[in-house]
Structure 1
Amino acid sequence: MVTGPTSRARQKEGATSQPASRGTATLAEIARQAGVSAPTVSKVLNGRAHVAPATRDKVEALLRNHGYRRRRGIARPRPSGLLELVFHELISMWATEIIRGAENVARQEGLTLVLSEVAGREEMGQPWVDGVLTRDPAGVILVMSDLTAAQRDLLVSRDVPFVVMDPAGYPADDVPSIGTTNYQGGYSATRHLLELGHRRIAVIGGPESVLCSRARIDGYRAALETGGVACEDRFVRHGTFQTEAGHRIARDLLAGPDRPTAIFAGNDVQAMGVYQAARELGLRIPEDVSVVGFDDLSVSSWMGPPLTTVRQPLVDMAEAAARVVLDLGRGVDPGMRRVELATNLVVRDSTAPPPA
């Protein structure tokens, strides 16, 4: 549904109107100014697909100038029957858990789950936005990604509901997001190692720009401070959440003098790299070095030795994100715009007191 400045527009487009102001125009006049047909203007106004991006931008600018706007909070049917799940990077078992959660809800709702990847970029590109508008999904779940203000406004203007899961940065106040207690998870992991007697504890986070990584490292720092242990800069490293980064950084940490007796890896995938580095250096886990991960992927319990890790409920997070975005598409206010699900420490065999 849309609102516009004239009764003529309302009769033609099924819209309600706002009081007319100087400089308002009918849709036909806007079409003439844009050099397009009136049906094209109607498509843009009602958020329909099959309009060239440049033409859409020109028409939207004219519509805004003349006071047309879409009525908010009214659901409209989605003929595509799609639920879109977007990864900044589609990697390994971590992504599999999220896909499983989103698919659970899609199946219950009779929707088809569509996956896309933005090739490691945390910010969506305009071609991706144009593709979403063409597909017209029932909702979009963005995993560890961010939208610019302009892209956000564009999706909102077309009534495409979206939610951010595990956001890369701090989402705007009006952007729904589903996350987990990353700070508490980092604190719990480090506190566990301190209670075992470790004092030289290193951390291998993810990219410095990613919110969840910063929160986990903040929890690590807070646990050290609470435990009366100084945080040494040489023990704070940033990786990529990939196995290769865990391996490379762990080799550097463990090969040097006065090496750490424990490593808190920012995720289970990097912990696998730590395991590999320890083996190559002839170090035993946990006798020579303890390792803690984050995520509790299914493979964690099968590693040798089974990995102590912080469990974040990835399936539950994805299910919650899917339900929120579908509610938004139905015009249902989710109430809370920022949701964090709890983490908990799962202790297995990769941690022990430090060597004497």
Structure 2
Amino acid sequence: MSGRVTLATVAATAGVSVATVSKVLNGRSDVSESTRARVQELLREHEYIGRRPEQVERITVELFYQGFLNSYSVEVIQGVVEAGQAADVDVVVGSHPHANRSSGRAAPWIRELTATGRRAAIGITCELTDADLAALSRARLPLVVVDPISIAQPDVTSVGSTNFAGGMAATQHLLSLGHRRIAYLGGPPSSGCNQARLNGFRGAMEAAGVPVPKDYVWLREFLYEDGLAGGADLLDLPEPPTAIFAGSDETALGVMEAARARGLRVPEDLSVIGFDDTQVARLASPQLTTVRQPLREMGAVALRTALQLAAGEKVDSHHVELATRLIVRDSTAELARVPVS
């Protein structure tokens, strides 16, 4: 049989009416079992693909990230995608292009989102201009950001974790091991999550009565390369730290490599603690002590919040924080004591 197979073709071959074939397709019970079996066999034989009774528009959410994919963003993306599957929602993942800050106009990608029928947008550690936010508002395209970079946009709906508490827990752990020369190596100064982690670090140090030298705070990005460079700077100080709290797992791995390059052992000579508890923390050697963020759950909450906003529902809070937890592994140890001669 050539050409497109129609219901009429199947009906004629089966010796039944088109209405009977339609009943089989729709699972109706008022068809005899023998007729149903004969029609279903013909449908399979001819690989019949019918049109949907009604073309239902699926909800599509845009998920974008800034910069390069890393272990942190992969975990969050996984959470968004899994939540989208559970909600029967399509999630399109893409990289966020840099906005044209000089012109003050919204980036063209926002117009593309509305043109392609996106119902909401989710950004991961992204920074949007005021023009972008205004364009999203005009387009009535809800936005949810996971760990926003800018702390100057309080009206942006966001999802994060208890970064301040996590920063305190990490620092208190190092203090409990006897360390007093503790450095913080974190991300961008403008980053809200970085500021919270740094404040938690300072709060724990101040509560313990331990001063923090200016050279012991190093801020750039949450990248391996920054951990490598920052770790080198800290370890080359005249009085280097005995412990370093890194603002991300990847930064912590850079610190560990900087220590190895100088003949230092982790944790015997230097304790290192990270933040996130991504897969790299468990693959590190030694395995990394870190502060666990529920990254996949953060992604899932962002997806559910975006769908609420797209449906015109109110959300309980513009900013949701999920709990962090200290995970102790092998990269931290008690401060080595100098033996008495």
Scaled by the length of structure 2, the TM-score of the pair is 0.77
Structure 2 distance, partners of 1:122, 1:284, is: 46
1:188 aligns with 169
Secondary structure at the aligned position of 2:81 is classed as: helix
**Cα offsets for 1:237-295 (capped at 9, x unmatched):** 01211111101111121133221000000100011101111111110011000000000
Change (3 A) 1:334 1:296: same
Give the alignment of 1:205-284 within 5 angstroms.
205-284=186-265
**Partner SS state of residue 141, structure 2:** coil
Instruction: Find the structure with the greater CA-based Rg.
Output: 2
Residue deviations 1:45-80 (CA, integer Å, cap 9, x gap): xxxxxxxxxxxxxxxxxxxxxxxxxxxxxxxx9946
Q: CA RMSD in A?
A: 2.1
Q: Does structure 1 retain, via aligned residues, the 8 Å contact 2:59–2:90? A: yes
Contact persistence 1:98–1:315 (CA under 8 A)? yes
Question: In the TM superposition, what is the alpha-carbon distance from 1:103 to its structure 2 partner?
Answer: 0.4
CA contact (8 A) 2:75 2:295 kept: yes
- State the AA in 1 paired with 2:136: L
Tell me which residue corresponds to 1:154. Answer: 135
Q: Helix, strand or coil for the counterpart of 1:263?
A: strand
Deviations 1:84-124 (A, max 9, x none): 11111232211110111000111122222212223577989
CA–CA distance in 2 between the matches of 1:256 and 1:208? Answer: 22
SS of the counterpart of 2:258? helix
- Kept in 2, the 8 Å contact 1:155–1:161? The answer is yes
Aligned residue-pair number: 280
Match of 1:335? Answer: 316
1:88 alignment partner, one of 31, 52, 66: 66
* Conserved? CA contact 1:78–1:136, under 8 Å: no
> What displacement does 1:149 show?
3.4
Measured in 1, the distance between the counterparts of 2:208 and 2:76 equals 35
> Which residue identity lines up with residue 252 of structure 2 in the other structure?
A
Deviations 1:119-167 (A, max 9, x none): 5779895122222222221210111123333332322222212111111
Q: How does 1:60-99 map to 2 (within 5 A)?
A: 79=57, 81-99=59-77
Give the conservation status (yes or no) of the 8 Å contact 1:207–1:238.
Answer: yes
SS at match of 1:272: helix
Give yes or no for the alignment of 1:177 onto 2:158. yes
CA distance in 2, matches of 1:260, 1:161: 45
Letter in 1 for 2:228: H
Alpha carbons of structure 1 residues 148 and 290: separation in structure 2 relative to 1, 3 Å? same
* CA–CA separation in structure 1 for the residues paired with 2:206 and 2:190: 23
User: Equivalent pairs: percent with the same residue?
Assistant: 40
Identify the range of structure 1 (249-258 vs 229-238) with the bigger mean alpha-carbon deviation.
Answer: 249-258
Counterparts of 2:93 and 2:293, CA distance in 1: 22
Residue of structure 2 equivalent to 1:102: 80
Q: Structure 1 pair 351/119, CA: closer, same or farther in 2 (3 Å)? A: farther
Partner of 2:267: 286
3-state secondary structure, aligned to 1:89: coil
In the alignment, what sits opposite 2:27? none
Deviations 1:293-340 (A, max 9, x none): 000002212211111000011100010000000111112212222111
Post-superposition Cα deviations, 1:165-192, rounded to whole Å, max 9, x if no partner, equal 1111236454321111111111111111
**1:183 touches 1:219 (CA, 8 Å); kept in 2?**
yes
Question: What stretches of structure 2 of length at least 5 have no aligned partner?
Answer: 1-54
Say whether the 8 Å CA contact 2:242–2:270 is kept in structure 1.
yes
Offset at residue 197 of structure 1 (A)? 0.6
Query: CA separation in 2, counterparts of 1:89 and 1:278?
Result: 27
Question: What is the TM-score when the length of structure 1 is the normalising length?
Answer: 0.74
- Counterparts of 1:274 and 1:125, CA distance in 2: 38
Q: Give me the whole-angstrom Cα distance separating, in 1, the residues matched to 2:308 and 2:249.
A: 32
